[in-house]
Amino acid sequence: MTERLESREKVTGAARYAFEYPVENVAYAAAVQASVGRGEVVAVDADSVLALPGVLAVLSHENAPKLHDPPDGELALFQSRTVSYRGQFVAVVVGETLETAREGARRLRVEYAAESPDVRLRTDHPDLYKPDKVNPTFPADTEQGEPEDAYGCSAVRVDVTYTTPAEHNNPMEPHTTLAQWNDDGLTLYDSTQGASSVQNIIARVFGLDRTQVRVVSPHVGGGFGSKGSPRPNVVIAAMAARAVGRPVKFAVPRQQMYATTGYRTPTIQRFRVGADSDGRLNAVLHDVVEQTSTVKEFAEQTATPTRVMYQAPHRRTSHRLVALDVPTPSWMRAPGETPGMYALESVMDELAVATGVDPIELRIRNEPDRDPENGLPFSSRNLVACLQEGAERFGWAGRDPAPRARREGRKLVGMGVAASTYPAYMAPNRATARAEPDGTFTIRIAAADIGTGARTTLALIAAETLKADLGDVRVEIGDSSLPKATVAGGSSGTAGWGTAVVRACEALRAELNGGLPAEGLEVSADTTEEVKAREAFSRHAFGAQFAEVEVDADTGEVRVRRMLGVFAAGRIINPVTARSQFIGGMTMGIGMALMEESVMDREFGDYLNRDLAQYHVPSCADVRDVDAVWVEESDPHLNPMGAKGIGEIGIVGAAAAVGNAVHHATGVRVRSLPITPATLV
Ligand code: MOS
């Protein structure tokens, strides 16, 4: 059990975040958002703002330099007069101070030719289409057997539609970039989940060689997926810095974040589930409708967990998208799995009620012995162990299955369960390991620690491989000048980065058999071939979420009394930071179940939420007793550490467990998140 290696720097304020780098002669940027939901910019009155003392530049489509090759419309800042959604950045003001820049942005008059935006997601939208794939590379639709017919002749049928709202990631640290041009190119101090990825993409945007871009991001104050790829802030800061010939700082204020840095798409999910009277699934049909923007296609993989979870001979999943005049959705913690498993695991609870089978027993009865979709063996699958261990610890056996059976004064009390899953991804990475002349070691990899404890985990992995003391291992991450690494995303960091670290350390140990040269010794590893050569397995982590809620019978207020997550995620490398990931995800699941909702302005476009007073996340008082444990799982088919990812699985299924507990407490099935008092009384 090892505390974060940088914990002292963080609590003393010594850890430097992107906005805090001291650079000479810095200027500040403030951006202007479109105030119409669709249309064109007709005119930008830059002159009156340029006349303000301290204003250095105003950039808009009228004068912005042409970008070389932005990979998508969200990064093509100020390249056309088109407004694709309300809140889109249309101009930036650069000033001597942050206050000057913001005042200039506030005063900038932009004239528009406005059209009325179409922002309403609906299942009968005429422009629904089937995407070529859903993220990252899954087929949009799958089908096996005769799902419609099989559903039609099943003894027990559940046909329900679940909806989830748009949700915003809301990391503590804003999306921030400090950009500085020099003779060698561009340096970016950036709040990102992937320095190497920002380096590549920004080089492409500005027509530079990737060696001309350096991205520095040793500390990142959260991302939850929203910093998984460069956002407009990076391009704005770099463009502004070039325009004024000075370093420029730009942090997206929370008020501007809701339109510009990504969010989880709202979903409408129809489930039809047919089973025999014992609850054995015969047919599962999961049809998803969700949104993207007109700027860039983002196709959330909402139905993919349904392809993995339960045995059923007849199955169908589908995704349909519509490109609305809305900000572009993006990754938010366990994209796909989170909304998809909320619906699936709520439906399983409905099936348990319909068949009279205990919800845990129902899941065990439908446990597949291979991946039900592709027929591959699971590298390991311990869902049943998680359910059983959790039932034991949580006191499931004493639960009266009847809804509304337990009342304590004004409180109705209920318990719910849901399963959890997340893929165990792994991508090629590079790392170097260096034996220093003084007997210590330095590990280098452009990995990111977004608050997860990744730096510490990699140090533990290196120390174990080197058979060295942890105190003798230094880990350098968060800089694109280090060996190229994948993003902190898809819960793949420990697996992907860790494998490269292990291989570099193994190679170093082998070479050190010849003795340590006076100048030290460095070796590097690249896991591309190793990842390619992996055997075909279905690799996923699993878990079981338990929740107990009390619902005020008069007001409908829901309180989560206690929550337990039991996970099977391979070998847990650092229990203290792993537990934080699990309970952090579960806490986010409480938010999803009871609070989080981004509200679209149907007439004018954009999300109405502007801050954490309008976008509610759980506070300490909402999170009374959340615990996470894990079962022993030894899986030889993963990576040298035997580890599956843990960053995202904690949120998956958590909202369903809470919703199922609310149903058990009240007898009310809310199929549209969040579950607020108004939905219950
Ligand atoms: Mo995560 S949403 O893959 O950063």
Three-class DSSP category at 540 = strand
Q: Which atom of ligand 1 is closest in space to residue 227's alpha carbon? A: 4
Q: How many angstroms separate the alpha carbon of residue 142 from the centre of ligand 1?
A: 24
Domain that includes residue 100, residue range: 25-116+172-222+227-260
Domain assignment of residue 3, yes or no: no
**How is the chain split among helix, strand and coil, in percent rounded to 5?**
30, 25, 45
Could you write out the DSSP letters of every residue in 394-457? HTGGG---STT-EEETTEEEEEEEEEEEEE------EEEEEE-TTS-EEEE-----SSS-HHHH
Residue 102 CA to residue 32 CA, distance in Å, equals 9
Last residue of a domain, one of 512, 532, 552: 532
Q: Which atom of ligand 1 is closest in space to residue 193's alpha carbon? A: 4
Q: What does pTM read for this prediction?
A: 0.97
Looking at the fold, whether 617 and 473 belong to one and the same domain comes out as no
Domain assignment of residue 58, yes or no: yes
Q: How many angstroms separate the alpha carbon of residue 651 from the centre of ligand 1?
A: 12
Looking at the fold, whether 580 and 489 belong to one and the same domain comes out as no
**DSSP 8-class letter at 44:** E
Last residue of a domain, one of 502, 532, 562: 532
For residue 2, the model assigns a pLDDT of: 83
Mean pLDDT of the 614-626 span: 95
Residue 478 CA to residue 193 CA, distance in Å, equals 9
Q: Is the CB of 570 under 6 A from ligand 1?
A: no
Q: How many angstroms separate the alpha carbon of residue 132 from the centre of ligand 1?
A: 21
- Active-site annotation, residues: 648
Residue 235 has pLDDT above 80, yes or no: yes
Domain assignment of residue 599, yes or no: yes
Ligand 1, atom 4, lies closest to the CA of 225
Q: Is the ipTM of this complex over 0.90?
A: yes
Q: Which atom of ligand 1 is closest in space to residue 333's alpha carbon? A: 2
Looking at the fold, whether 238 and 163 belong to one and the same domain comes out as no
Q: Is the CB of 228 under 6 A from ligand 1?
A: yes
Domain assignment of residue 612, yes or no: yes
Tens of pLDDT, residue by residue over 373-388, are: 999 999 999 999 999 9
Domain assignment of residue 19, yes or no: no
Looking at the fold, whether 280 and 384 belong to one and the same domain comes out as yes
Residue 550 has pLDDT above 70, yes or no: yes
Residue 86 has pLDDT above 90, yes or no: yes
The CATH number given to whatever domain includes residue 451 is: 3.30.365.10
* Secondary structure of 595-644 in HEC code, one letter for each residue: CCCECECCCCCCECCCCCCCCCCCCHHHCCCEEEEECCCCCCCCCCCCEC
For residue 553, the model assigns a pLDDT of: 96
Tens of pLDDT, residue by residue over 633-672, are: 999 999 999 999 999 999 999 999 999 999 999 999 999 9
Q: How many angstroms separate the alpha carbon of residue 601 from the centre of ligand 1?
A: 27
Q: Is the CB of 225 under 6 A from ligand 1?
A: yes
Tens of pLDDT, residue by residue over 555-598, are: 999 999 999 999 999 999 999 999 999 999 999 999 999 999 99
Mean pLDDT of the 361-371 span: 98
Looking at the fold, whether 484 and 546 belong to one and the same domain comes out as no
Looking at the fold, whether 566 and 471 belong to one and the same domain comes out as no
135, 648, 649, 652, best to mutate for ligand 1 pocket (most atoms within 8 Å of CB): 648
192, 298, 333, best to mutate for ligand 1 pocket (most atoms within 8 Å of CB): 333
What band does 681 get if pLDDT is binned at 50, 70 and 90? confident
Looking at the fold, whether 96 and 232 belong to one and the same domain comes out as yes
What band does 488 get if pLDDT is binned at 50, 70 and 90? very high
Domain assignment of residue 648, yes or no: yes
Domain assignment of residue 522, yes or no: yes
Looking at the fold, whether 83 and 33 belong to one and the same domain comes out as yes
Domain assignment of residue 4, yes or no: no
Question: Domain total for the chain?
Answer: 3
Looking at the fold, whether 337 and 390 belong to one and the same domain comes out as yes
Give the whole-number percent of the chain exceeding pLDDT 70. 100
Total count of residues recorded for the chain:
681
Looking at the fold, whether 160 and 301 belong to one and the same domain comes out as yes
What band does 1 get if pLDDT is binned at 50, 70 and 90? low
Tens of pLDDT, residue by residue over 278-288, are: 999 999 999 99
Q: Which atom of ligand 1 is closest in space to residue 647's alpha carbon? A: 1
Looking at the fold, whether 408 and 327 belong to one and the same domain comes out as yes
Contact predicate 410/552, CB 8 Å? yes
Residue 352 has pLDDT above 70, yes or no: yes
Task: Work out the angle between the directed axes of helices 654-666 and 337-355 (0-180°, nearest 10).
Answer: 30
Looking at the fold, whether 207 and 350 belong to one and the same domain comes out as no
